[in-house]
Structure 1
Amino acid sequence: MKRKKTVLQQILSEKRKKAKEGGSMSGKDEFGTTKYVIYAEFEANGVVERPDVVGAIFGQTEGLLGDDLDLRELQKTGRIGRIRVEVHNKAGKTYGTITVPSSLDRVETAVLAAALETIDRVGPAEARIKVLRIEDVRATKRKYIIERAKEILETLMEQEIPETQEITEEVKKAVRAKELIEYGPEKLPAGPHVPFSDSIIVVEGRADVLNLLKHGIKNAIAVEGTSIPETIIKLSKERIVTAFTDGDRGGELILKELLQVADVDYVARAPEGKEVEELTKKEIVKALRSKVPAEQVINEMFNKGKSFYDLIKERESESEAQPKQVVKPEPEVKAQPKVEKPEEKREPATVVRPSAEKIVRPIETSKSAPELEEFKEFIERVKKDGVALLLDENKNVIAEIPVRELTNQLKERRDVYAVVFNGVITQRLIDTVSETGVKYIVGARKYNVVRRPVSLKIITFAE
């Protein structure tokens, strides 16, 4: 009964079948504990059969090398495998090959191979045996192991690395999904900053909110359908609202309904043919920076029949002739309130925060304001030293810090009455100081400031 082959034996067996004379390994039993395989060829001057050749090998080597290297004893103990002989006859002569698997060491195997060449007769015919080579089976196995290891490693790199990336992405998605909240009676998908943010971004669906969360924008809320929820309508009366819709037909329909039923301040749309959920961070920021006041969109869309993208193209063509201002992006993209140009002097317009704190437009302060004289000494000092001064109620300097650390320092202090520095007053800085109780902020100039607390006074000395 033939012994069942292992996978390795099957592979090497296929190689043996393809190999010709002088090729790779032969034989069936040379794959267990075998170390070497002896390959030999023979020629007999007559017609002989396989049993004749095997009998000549055992018979003519018996007692030649002593008991330790007797072929019969070695085969009984398993140190020599089954001898394989292949014969074919031609023109009254017999030719063939002999394969002897050996688990002896290399010296003993070489001695055994040399003994085969002493055989000079097979059956009734004269014969000649010549050893072709001795093959190290372990070298063949090592070669196979190396080649197979390469294949396994390539498969591992192709399959495991993408899987690792997928795991990382799944973890990120789980974190973003955890940040997602449900807002209002309709349980609308929203970012974690929606309940307390002064401005919100209204998008179409849950996937849009998740994409904005992915890129650090946490004040978005979804309408979840073409029917505008009551929660969105209510929020639009209290917050600064930017409608951010897809650049397709569905986005246009939702935008029109939003403009009709809600108090929208600004309108932004994804590039034509794209959806908000598939935009990159760069595309999102660009779209939000290109937002258009809602009044202008209503006038162009409902009265003149123009599309939103026609309006954008007109604005871009108008701005080409004007020098462009480089706007430094903030960590979170926030919408800005509508700016109306009053025809006559009126009281500053107010916007109510959810916390009921009133926000008004900043009051322009001229260089001749009385407060400017009060801080003249400190202004000259910051101009000279390039630092920021923090003052208490008695106008004593309680801290002198680098301007770049101003925002971080203010977040940690609650004893600052006035801030004086030779730099630009931004909306971000105003939002920071308004939470710490600062009453005066004195700077060189202000940029893009649209609101401030009533209790905060802004003084500029370089405008």
Structure 2
Amino acid sequence: MQNADTTKYIIHSKISADGIIERPDIVGAIFGQTEGLLGSDLDLRDLQKTGRIGRIEVVVNAKGGKTKGTILIPSSLDKVETSILAASLETIDRVGPCSAKIEISHIEDVRATKRHQIIERAKFIFKGMFDENLPESQEIADEVRQSVRVEEMQYYGKNKIPCGPTVFDSDAIIVVEGRADVLNLLKYGIKNTICVGGTNVPPEVAEFTRKKDTVTAFTDGDRGGELIIKELVQVANIDYIARAPDGKSVEDLVQKEIVRSLRQKVPVEQVIDKYVSNDQPSSADDGRKQRISKRKERRPSPAADAKRISPAAVKRNAREPRRNKRKQDSREKQPNGNKQSDARKTETPKSKVPVSPENKRFKNHANDLIGTFSARFLDGGDNVVNETAVRDLVSTLKAYEDEVKTVVFDGVVTQRILDIAADKGIERLIGAKVGSVTKRPASVKVLTAASL
């Protein structure tokens, strides 16, 4: 019998017969019908006796009076001889009393299969069985810092909310989104942090912020961070708002970016209209007003400010009344001095351009959209015919077919929106502010909500 270790190729073939046949019939037909066909050098019986052809494996299945199956013949011959032997099998046209057909499907190179197994096994050995490389000095330091940060992390309340070790005693705290943000700030020595774990702010955190003098919300620079700020402003006491750069998360920031973001924090009063709707509970407003008054009390008094004024500034301030007096005397000497002064008093500042009364009727729409990031389409009768999100405004405008005369939205009027409005025959665009617009079509009036 053929030794499997010497097998080079395996001939795969299919057989089909118009009748019921079994394995011995097929093996007998292979030996009988190929005998003397290829000469003594390639006689199957002699090749099997010398071990150059292995045991012929046959698997057949009879169904509906017909038989189908597969034939496997191991070979240790070379490629040419194996190909000739495989071609000779296709000359068999009868098996027992039935007509049959044998077709070679493919010849498998056993050595190639073994090579593939060797490669896959070598990959596994290389990845899983070698000892890991010793870390470099920087990696060792980072690993130690990481373990220290995890050990430093504390937990607040019955729900075990992750926080920094100094958040309990510090008068100023930073509220972040998740546990990874707390770890990243601990990495750079910022330990007065506590997380909210997503948009559902825990009541414990909301109550905890009311016990602190200064609370800064520090969130990711994405839509999720904006939603968390909106909720924090409504349920917690927030004094300042800091945001990571657009598209970045707090957990991914390096020290320079963290410091820059915290330095650029803004008082919540400056952006309250963006994050708070008109129906916000009055209790939150009252708590915010109390903290504003506390911060004003902590500001230096005018006397303390005067101590910090330089001597040169004091001299300039002393000369200022005399300079003003000389200007007043010179105006009094002029015959029409008082008239000119009165004219200047009644002159309308150039920066305040009066708004047409017909445009003031859109003020209610603009007020309703503040902080919603939404847009309204109005027809010729100022009726709302459609609403959409600002992020979808361009695509909605392009596809909208009905009459639209005015678009009011809580966003920036851009050149792209302005061009689309001109193409659609829209008469007015009213946004939160006007962006970089270089070309204004005469057919479209551009207004802002603040100017109504």
Q: Tell me the TM-score normalised to structure 1 length.
A: 0.33
Q: Tell me the TM-score normalised to structure 2 length.
A: 0.33
Give 1 or 2: higher helix fraction. Answer: 2
